[in-house]
Amino acid sequence: MGIYRAGHGSLEVICGPMFSGKTTELIRRVARAQIAKQRAQVFKPSIDSRYDSEKVVGHDSGCLKATPLDRPTEIFRHLYDNTRLVAIDEVQFFDNDIVVVVNKLACRGYRVVCAGLDLDYRGIPFGPLPGLLSIADEVSKIHAICTLCGAEASRTQRIVDSGDAVLLGEKEAYEARCRAHFEYFNEEEMLPLNEEIKADWEAHPG
């Protein structure tokens, strides 16, 4: 395990819906670090096998070799001594241990760049993203283009019928949508109102 300590570590989070360019941006930051002669290592959850089990791949087909992980703590044992940048794609699929792991790495001087979905297909914060966004030094919330109206899209619409919480898929299963065109079949389930909010909402429906 690399136990790098010198310098200032940091955590950058790139988030947004599917097709917003998160993987493209992650690959760009890794490429720039490599130009600066900084060794980068790229990781991803092993659950994300959509295109390739050992690469991160963008929708535009840019790609980078990546080490698949079953658990966030496995990162420690994969690190080389001279690694300075740790990049993690599809970070939403890890459990909350990832927050502790990347915080540890940043405190040890590593520059950590995480990319992932901030919201799931229901419009609900995705897994560890709230924790990661809170401890990040820098957050890039980026947008796709709404497939219905061309506006900035911040949501991922599932367009196939499935009750699965995680459904790996591409354009056949998901579309980028703006807030106005995002539809979820049960708004109440999306972000449930408690009694107090419900009473105020009904009193002031706008």
Report the residue number, 2 or 21, with the smaller CB distance to ligand ADP.
21
What is the longest distance spanned by two Cα atoms in the chain? Answer: 61
Tokens, residue 198: 């419900």
Picking from 10, 14, 68, the residue whose alpha carbon sits closest to that of residue 43 is 68
CB of 38 or CB of 147, closer to ligand ADP? 147
By rule CB under 5 A, what count of residues binds Mg ion? 2
Examine residue 88 and tell whether it contacts ligand ADP (CB under 6 A): no
Q: Which does 24 bind (CB under 5 to 8 A by kind): Mg ion, ligand ADP, none?
A: ligand ADP
- Answer whether 124's CB lies under 8 Å from 190's CB: yes
Are β-strands 67-69 and 138-141 bridged in parallel, bridged antiparallel, or unpaired? unpaired
Q: Is 176 in the site for ligand ADP (CB under 6 A)?
A: yes
Catalytic residue among 25, 54, 74, 90: 90
Q: Does 116 bind ligand ADP (CB under 6 A)?
A: no
Distance, CA of 67 to CA of 90 (rounded, Å) = 12
Nearer to ligand ADP (CB atom), residue 1 or residue 168? 168
* Residue 137 binds ligand ADP (CB under 6 A): no
Contact between residue 145 and residue 176 where contact means Cβ atoms under 8 Å apart: yes
The reply on whether position 147 binds ligand ADP by CB under 6 A is yes
Under the criterion CB under 6 A, does residue 173 sit at the interface with ligand ADP?
no
97, two tokens: 């241990």
Q: Is residue 58 a contact residue for ligand ADP (CB under 6 A)?
A: yes
Place of tokens 């790609």: 63
| Residues recorded for the chain | 206
The contacts of residue 55 (CB under 8 Å, 6+ apart) are 63, 64, 65, 66
* Binding to Mg ion, residues 3-62 (CB under 5 A): 22-23
Is 187 in the active site? no
Which tokens in the block code for residue 107? Answer: 């405190």
Q: Could you tell which of ligand ADP, Mg ion, none binds residue 176, using a CB distance below 5 to 8 A set by kind?
A: ligand ADP
The window from 20-28, 42-50, 98-106, 180-188 that contacts ligand ADP (CB under 6 A) reads 20-28
Question: Which amino acid, residue 92?
Answer: Q
Site of interaction with ligand ADP (CB under 6 A): 16, 18-24, 58-60, 144-145, 147, 176
